[in-house]
């Protein structure tokens, strides 16, 4: 059987009659009937009952239609890719990122990169580190940024950034007067914790055990952005990724260094044997430049003199 006969069958099933299918495909009604008869002969199945000049699908037709639909999903995906290649050539770049970097940081790097000026199409998926890994392994994206909590077996990986976690709090918190906090300081208020699988949380827990410090965890969340908002609302202290915290500084969030360095590590991951395009390599340069810029902003905020008032000047990315 040919693709044309499958196309005719699908049109009849979708439209309900041979005449409507003929108009949909731009052919005569006899041509539709002939294609259906040929398909039935080749398949050795009765796909339609002829009732008063109308085609009534049999159970076999409905069963076949489910397979045809699956075929067309893949076929339409190929068509979409062809259109994309026609419009953008190889100028399409896709990536996935975990939220600490994906929510705002990657967007600012994209704005500096200006894909519209380069006649490029870009795609960003913001999802968990586990999902970033899956997207990279299955080839759904060109590369990804993820936490180091996920096993990296089967993918190429390198360190994209290593930054000390910072302690977030509201502007009127008593600890905001201090330039740096000890682990013992964290026990003075309720604590907003990351999820147990978070690698920075595990490093923090190991340091707390070593110094015999016990925290009063009140809320657990997988997202640094959520922890920042909760700290801003005065619920307690949180150790967060500084990149995620940067977006909350203009809203009044205060961040302080922790005297015991707890690293937040971000991995750059790619599929083995699938080198990045020139556009991909260029965008990685912009990501690294954005990281350097925002790291300097964070250091400047942490180095400011503190007189009990939160430093809220300067917009993220400005």
DSSP one-letter string for 87-141: HHTT-EEEEEE-HHHHTTHHHHHHHHH-TTTTT-EEEEEE--HHHHHHHHHTTSS
Which of 71, 88, 105 finishes a domain?
88
- Supply the CATH number for residue 291's domain: 3.40.190.290
Question: What does pLDDT average to over the chain?
Answer: 88
pLDDT band at residue 50 under the 50/70/90 scheme: confident
Same domain, 66 and 99: no
Residues 185 and 106 in one domain: yes
Say whether both 184 and 250 belong to one domain: yes
pLDDT for residue 310: 41
Contact status, residue 215 vs residue 191, Cβ threshold 8 Å: yes
Give the whole-angstrom CA distance, residue 211 versus residue 279: 48
For the chain, how many structural domains are there in total? 2
pLDDT (0 to 100) of residue 153: 87
Interacting residues of 99 by C-beta distance below 8 A, sequence separation 6+:
126, 127, 128, 223, 224, 225, 244
Residue finishing a domain among 44, 68, 88: 88
pLDDT of 313 > 50? The answer is no
* pLDDT tens-digit map of 99-127: 999 999 999 999 999 998 888 889 999 99
Q: Are residues 254 and 313 in the same domain?
A: yes
142 and 39 belong to one structural domain: no
* One domain, residues 157 and 29: no
Which has more pLDDT, 86 or 109?
109
Considering the domain architecture, whether residues 262 and 281 belong to the same structural domain is answered as yes
- Summarize the confidence of residues 59-78 as an average pLDDT: 76
The model's pLDDT over 173-229, given as tens digits with 9 standing for 90+, comes to 999 999 999 999 999 999 999 999 999 999 999 999 999 999 999 999 999 999 999
Last residue of a domain, one of 88, 116, 132: 88
Range of the domain at 21: 3-88
Q: What is the pLDDT of residue 282?
A: 94
Q: Among 58-67, 119-128, 208-217, 303-312, where is mean pLDDT lowest? A: 303-312
Q: Domain check: are 159 and 205 in the same one?
A: yes
| Same domain, yes or no: 52 and 169 | no
Distance of alpha carbon 217 from alpha carbon 271, whole angstroms: 38
Do 51 and 163 belong to one domain? no
Q: Specify which residues 147 forms β-bridges with.
A: 266
Q: In the structure encoding, which two tokens stand for residue 164, read together?
A: 């000390």
83 and 95 within one domain: no
- The whole-angstrom separation of Cα 143 and Cα 269 is 6
Among 12-21, 113-122, 304-313, which is the least confidently predicted range?
304-313
User: What does the pLDDT look like over 224-258, one tens digit per residue?
Assistant: 999 999 999 999 999 999 999 999 999 999 999 99
Residues 129 and 109 in one domain: yes
């Amino acid at each position: 059987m040919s693709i044309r006969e499958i196309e005719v069958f699908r049109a009849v099933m979708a439209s309900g009659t041979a005449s409507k299918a003929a108009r949909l495909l731009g052919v005569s009604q006899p041509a539709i009937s002939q294609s259906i008869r040929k398909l039935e002969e080749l398949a050795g199945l009765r796909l339609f009952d002829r009732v008063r000049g109308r085609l009534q699908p049999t159970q076999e037709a409905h069963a076949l239609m489910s397979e045809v639909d699956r075929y067309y999903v893949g076929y339409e995906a190929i068509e979409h890719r062809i259109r994309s290649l026609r419009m953008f050539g190889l100028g399409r770049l896709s990536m996935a990122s975990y939220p600490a970097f994906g929510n705002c940081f990657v967007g600012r790097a994209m704005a500096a990169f200006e894909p519209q000026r380069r006649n490029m199409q870009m795609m960003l998926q913001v999802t968990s580190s586990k999902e970033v890994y899956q997207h990279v392994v299955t080839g759904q994206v060109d590369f990804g940024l993820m936490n180091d909590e996920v096993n990296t077996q089967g993918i190429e990986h390198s360190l994209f950034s290593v930054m000390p976690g910072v302690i977030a709090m509201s502007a009127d918190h008593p600890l905001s007067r201090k330039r740096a906090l000890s682990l013992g300081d964290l026990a003075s208020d309720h604590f907003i914790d990351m999820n147990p699988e978070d690698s920075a949380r595990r490093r923090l827990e190991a340091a707390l055990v070593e110094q015999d410090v016990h925290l009063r965890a009140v809320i657990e969340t997988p997202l640094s952005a959520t922890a920042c908002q909760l700290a801003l609302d005065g619920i307690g202290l949180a150790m967060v990724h500084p990149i995620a915290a940067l977006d909350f500084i203009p809203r009044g969030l205060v961040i302080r260094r922790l005297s015991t360095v707890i690293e937040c590590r971000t991995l750059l991951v790619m599929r083995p044997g699938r080198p990045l395009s020139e556009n991909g390599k260029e965008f990685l340069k912009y990501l690294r430049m954005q990281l350097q810029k925002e790291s300097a902003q964070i250091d400047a905020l942490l180095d400011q003199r503190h007189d009990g008032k939160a430093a809220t000047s300067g917009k993220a990315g400005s």
